Amino acid sequence: MRFKFLIFIFLSAAVLGFSQTEYDENWFMGKPIRDIVFNGLRNISISELEAITYLYKGRLFNDVLFWEIQSRLYALEYFEQIEPSIARASSDEVIIRFNVVERPVISRINFIGNSGLRTRELRDVISINASDILNQAKIQTDITAILDKYIEKGYPNVSVEVEETPGRDSSVVLTFRITEFERISISRIEFQGNYRFSNNALRSQLSLKAKSLINDGAFQEAKLIADRDAVAKYYHDRGYIDAVVRDVTRTFEADSRGTSLVLTFMIDEGSEFRFGGITFEGNRIFSTEQLEKLVTSRVGDIVNSTRLEMDLQSVADLYFENGYIFNSIVRTPLRDYREYILTYSVTIVERNRAYIENIIILGNEKTRAEVILREIPLEPGDVFSKTKVMQALTNLYNLQFFSMVIPDTLPGSTENLMDLVFTVEEQMTTDLQLGLTFSGSADPESFPISGLFEWSDRNLRGSGDQLGVKLNSSVIDSTTLAFNYLRRWILGLPLSLGMDFSADFTKRMTAMRNQNYWFNGDELDAFPDGFSSYREYVLHDKLPPREFMMSYDQWYLSLGLSSGYRWVTMLGNFGISGGTRFGVVRNAYDVIFSPFDPTLRDSNRIWTPKNSLWTSLSLDQRDVFYDPTKGFFIQERLAIYGLLGNELEHYFRSDSRAQYFHTLFDIPVTERWSFKGILALNFGLSFLFGQPGRDLAIEEANKLSVDGMFNARGWSNVFREKGLLLLDSWVELRFPLVRGILAWDFFFDGAGVETNQGFYFGKITKEGTTERVSNFTIDNMRFSFGGGLRITMPQFPIRASIAKRFRFVDGKPTWMSGAIFGNSSNPAAGVDLVISFVLAQ
């Protein structure tokens, strides 16, 4: 009887909870969901839940939808208990209610027993924070992270336990209790059995190091395993293909400072082998001559196992590239111990080509499948191509929509068919920035700090389109308001269309000609107020004293339209693009002053058109365009400024640029991080020249210069040394510190403008003589070198560098004193701090 009564009570409660009526118990089915509300929230804000619930408001209620909402709420791991109910909002709408019991909130995180590692070090490796919801999965992950950190520091026997102490208001204090035991450091690393190579040569291959002033000598088992393989590989790449590390003995030594470890690698070297060639059997699709051309190892050379492995892989890749992925390729090494010759017999069982049956996309919650598929240069029915799969990876990473892309292959419905699967992990594509930032202006006289509001979505509603708005203002001398929209694909083709509108206000400084009024300002020997000769003007880097400068205001409103198309070629992505910009500009200055620049002088307080047209050709083989590790980039951009006769400026601009990137080394240090060095080279050349049938007219501010920010880092003091030719080059050695976030770069910059405007690389008459000399020499260049941190995130492309400057005077190197630690009596002293922007091409 009691059991029946409980059943009756439960059914009654369910009936009341779901607001069912006697006549229509499913009244809520098919009705629009007006709202989703929560009761019992204490620490979780409703805005955190709206990211889920807003997707369902307005949709028609059904059981599948109802369970989907609950599943997503449970997946958040915010709640211990969720009790749903349904209420009427009106005769045609419903409200879903959730009575929830929150999981405890972490009020504080403590560490006990950590004497070997500082608390700050441990906080840096855990993911959970105070004020987070208690999450057991995260706690277990953090325990593993703490253990890994201790093992890295030489505590192989450490143990970690977690205690949860209830606090006030449904909170909990989380305590990591650590038992460190004894730290073990390596005092020496020895070798036995090595007759061919010295101890120092073998030690250089190890990631484990003995304790020294610059190394803590921490012992890690995982590194020891890798080091055994590294020593064996060192031998194998030098002909000793049978060499093995038979054992690594461990001897413990105790003294007053504790216990230390001596490692001894026991090596059997074997004999040196030479390469005897490769024979192929079963190959009919590709001739033996074709396969032999892929082998770079030469008969009679000392065997290099790494190179030989690459040769054999090249043979397999030739088949894979052409769709023969179901082939069986068996490689049999044959050792001749009398002559010490190594040969390989490669037996190939050829099967039919593999055709793609389906291309499957997994993991995309926001991005539409067609947005991903259009970046994959393969379709169902195509022959499988490894090169095209790698091209798809590059395309998808360059979208900046995904933090991870993993390709895979699965058997298809029949023998010669396969499914190509891409599993993606999406990342945030919406950026909102508020705060203070460096303006990014190359003008050293502009106020460097500005307020910033910027919102952009690189993947608008999962369509792959980009929309953004930006307001940047220093209030003092510059304000920019800009809107932009970019559609990357049109009519199913990689044809982009972009549109933007911007409104700019800038307060600028320019030279005056109140005293030297006899100059128009465009003569070759003209000089502004503050100087008595053109030579004096040049010696002061064409920068007048402050009292001989005047200010003017410039407003510029413009609308830009652009389009581009790209082709995938064997050499890389070939792109062609172009666009136009329509605008009006207004310069305003006090009439009691007269600007030295004639273009500026003739346009006071007049709105005049300012239009341009441009086109660009490029060839791009970089792996990732915003932070490449390999490949090259070549670009030529040509623009015409001044399309109408009444515009103030009429000129052409040509910008040529070539870049090259190469990974010098990539050394694994941990499972997630490698020590990598990347060489980056850049050469750029820009020209300004007149339009046919028109005089060259260009505002002084738009001429070319060494700005000290985007070229020749640190040389901001020569910003006003303008020209119609700019040569810009740099070499960088880049070391990524945190993948996709931070890198350390060493650089060497060189940039310069011509001596006399318009003579480019030609000859000019030396002042005071009839001698003809080159207009552009090494004396025109400004050099700097140094290093600094670079943020590699495309959304925040800023770097801070320390630069040391020098130049050539009459062909002799001359040091420049720096603003930091500078000394006027010793120009070689002092360096400059440079905050600059990294602009991806």
Pairwise pLDDT comparison (485 vs 100), residue with the higher score:
485
**In DSSP terms, which residues pair with 502 in a beta bridge?**
482, 558
Residue 509 falls inside a structural domain: no
Residue 535 falls inside a structural domain: no
pLDDT score recorded for residue 839: 59
The answer to whether residues 792 and 743 touch, using CB atoms and an 8 Å cutoff, is yes
pLDDT score recorded for residue 521: 83
Residue 441 falls inside a structural domain: no
263 and 278 in one domain? no
pLDDT at 840 over 60: no
User: By three-state DSSP, how is residue 443 classified?
Assistant: coil
pLDDT at 808 over 70: yes
d(CA 582, CA 334): 72
User: pLDDT per residue over 39-64, tens digit each?
Assistant: 888 778 787 787 678 778 888 998 88
98 and 109 in one domain? no
* pTM passes above 0.85: no
d(CA 666, CA 697): 51
Amino acid at 726: L
Residue that is last in its domain, among 268, 285, 314: 268
Region 465-476: mean pLDDT is 86
Pairwise pLDDT comparison (657 vs 624), residue with the higher score:
657
Region 754-781: mean pLDDT is 88
Q: How many CB atoms lie within 10 A of CB 625?
A: 17
User: Binning pLDDT at 50, 70 and 90, where does residue 531 land?
Assistant: very high
Question: Which of 223-227, 376-380, 542-546, 801-805 has the weakest average pLDDT?
Answer: 542-546
Specify the pairing of strand 341-349 against strand 274-281: parallel
pLDDT score recorded for residue 502: 95
d(CA 14, CA 25): 11
Could you tell me if residue 231 is left (phi over 0), alpha (psi between -120 and 50 degrees) or otherwise beta? alpha
Specify the pairing of strand 33-39 against strand 94-102: parallel
The answer to whether residues 380 and 356 touch, using CB atoms and an 8 Å cutoff, is yes
User: By three-state DSSP, how is residue 573 classified?
Assistant: strand
Residue 737 falls inside a structural domain: yes
CATH number at residue 310: 3.10.20.310
114 and 82 in one domain? no
Residue that is last in its domain, among 179, 197, 222: 179
pLDDT score recorded for residue 13: 46
Residue 533 falls inside a structural domain: no
Environment class of residue 671 by beta-carbon count within 10 Å: exposed (0-12), middle (13-18) or buried (19+)?
A: exposed
d(CA 837, CA 729): 16
Residue with tokens 């100087």: 531
pLDDT score recorded for residue 448: 55
253 and 287 in one domain? no
The answer to whether residues 202 and 234 touch, using CB atoms and an 8 Å cutoff, is yes
pLDDT at 475 over 80: no
pLDDT score recorded for residue 447: 54
Residue that is last in its domain, among 365, 399, 426: 426
Question: Which of 34-43, 551-560, 645-654, 725-734 has the weakest average pLDDT?
Answer: 34-43
The answer to whether residues 574 and 588 touch, using CB atoms and an 8 Å cutoff, is no
pLDDT score recorded for residue 7: 46
421 and 322 in one domain? no
154 and 74 in one domain? no
313 and 262 in one domain? no
385 and 320 in one domain? no
N-term to C-term CA, the chain: 80
pLDDT at 170 over 80: no
Mean of the per-residue pLDDT values of the chain: 87
Residue 557 falls inside a structural domain: no
Counted domains in the chain:
6
d(CA 588, CA 610): 16
Pairwise pLDDT comparison (798 vs 384), residue with the higher score:
384
79 and 44 in one domain? yes
pLDDT at 451 over 80: no
Rounded to 10 degrees, the C-alpha dihedral 114/115/116/121 comes to 50
| Full residue range of the structural domain in which residue 676 is found | 611-841
CATH number at residue 660: 2.40.160.50
pLDDT score recorded for residue 793: 74
Region 514-521: mean pLDDT is 87
140 and 92 in one domain? no
**In DSSP terms, which residues pair with 616 in a beta bridge?**
577, 637
Give helix 221-236 / helix 305-321 axis angle, nearest 10°: 90
What's the token pair of residue 328? 């069986």
pLDDT at 2 over 60: no
The per-residue b/e assignment along 199-213, b for 16 or more CB within 10 angstroms, e otherwise, is eeebbeebbbebbee
Environment class of residue 337 by beta-carbon count within 10 Å: exposed (0-12), middle (13-18) or buried (19+)?
A: exposed
371 and 330 in one domain? no
Residue 392 falls inside a structural domain: yes
Amino acid at 577: S
234 and 120 in one domain? no
pLDDT score recorded for residue 597: 87
pLDDT score recorded for residue 9: 43
Give residues with Cβ within 8 angstroms of 101, minimum separation 6.
Answer: 40, 79, 80, 81, 82
Residue 129 falls inside a structural domain: yes
Environment class of residue 523 by beta-carbon count within 10 Å: exposed (0-12), middle (13-18) or buried (19+)?
A: exposed
